Amino acid sequence: MKNIITKGITKVYNPDTIPVVALDGVDLEIEQGEFTAIVGPSGSGKTTLLNIIGGLDKPSHGSVTISGTEITKMRDNKLIEFRKEHIGFVFQAYNLIPVLTAEENVEFVMLLQNRPSAERDQRTTELLEAVGLGDKRNTRPAQLSGGQQQRVAVARALAPKPDFILADEPTANLDSKSTENLLDIMARLNHEEGITFVFSTHDQRVIDRAHRVITLVDGKIATDELQNPEK
């Protein structure tokens, strides 16, 4: 079963000086196929939770289990390997590799996975078409708009066929049109291919499209609600 289970996640920054509790006992379960938004005001712990779920950060206490594997005790390199196979990331600032073209950025993680060339080519083409950038494959990030870069980032996150896509404020730097466009693509991939998306966001446009909205306040889950998305 592909799911994410967190148990009693607590994250305290600066424990030895001025402790800041970012997360305070978060218990959560996210199933495959969800389109979930983690929301809350700034400093509520959204990004910290997403980072811990994605294995980019370690909790002070508690555990994260992804598809049956507890990742909180993994060593760094093992965690990198795990992320490569199971988790795709979409960052607020896109974080594409500036010296590679859109196509090469998408292909990159598949190369790390040692996928065969033909498979890489086919999937890269499919994904760039899916995000509407089939004609930009040889363009470098600097020549793409913010919305286009974020779509490349989504294609890159999807390329290794991860179990989950974790997106940290993916629309924060985008205009309305680009946001709508990106959300349409992600919603379609979720609906048609069953890809799980977990967002941290305080963008109402994203929240409106989510099937499940988890609200964090002061590092704790305040509400966890299912909703019918607007589209």
Partner 1 sequence: MILKIAWRNIWRSRTRSLVVIGAIIVGIWAEIFLMSFSEGMVKSYIDNAIQSEISHIQLHQPDFLKDKEVKYVIDDASSLQQALQSTAHVKAATVRSLSNAMIASAKGARGVQIKAVDPANESAVTRIDTKVVEGEYFSEGKKNQILLGRSLAEKMNIKIRSKIVLTFTNLNGDITAAAFRVVGLYETDNTMVDDAVVYTTRQDFNKVLGGGDIAHEAALFLEDPEYLDTVFSVLQAQFPNLKVETYKQISPEIALFDSQMQLSTTIFTVILMLALVFGIINTMLMAVLERIKELGMLMAVGMNKARVFFMIMFETIMLGLVAGPIGLGLAYLTVLYFNHTGIDLGNWSEAMRQFGMSRVVYTTIRPSMFTELAIAVILTALIGSIYPALKAIRLRPVEAIRRI
Q: What does the binding site for partner 1 look like in residue numbers (CB under 8 A)?
A: 51, 54, 56-57, 76-77, 80-81, 83-85, 88-89, 91, 93, 95, 97-100, 104, 107-109, 111-113, 156-157, 160
Sheet holding 87-90, edge to edge: 87-90, 164-168, 196-200, 35-39, 212-217, 220-226
- CB 200, CB 50: distance < 8 Å: yes
The nearest distance, CB 104 to partner 1, in angstroms, is 7
Alpha helices in the chain (DSSP H): 46-53, 76-86, 102-112, 117-130, 146-158, 176-193, 204-209
Q: How many beta carbons lie within 10 A of that of residue 177, not counting itself?
A: 9
Using alpha carbons, select from 96, 95, 91, 66 the residue that is nearest to residue 81.
Answer: 66
Q: Phi and psi dihedrals of 151, rounded to 5?
A: -70, -35
Give the separation between CA 169 and CA 159, rounded to whole angstroms. Answer: 20
Give the separation between CA 231 and CA 228, rounded to whole angstroms. Answer: 8
Looking at beta carbons only, is 30 or 153 nearer to partner 1?
Answer: 153
Give the separation between CA 56 and CA 187, rounded to whole angstroms. Answer: 25
Radius of gyration of the chain (CA): 17
Q: Give the CA distances from residue 207 to residues 191, 201, 204, 221, 227, in Å, rounded to whole numbers and listed in that order.
A: 17, 7, 5, 16, 10
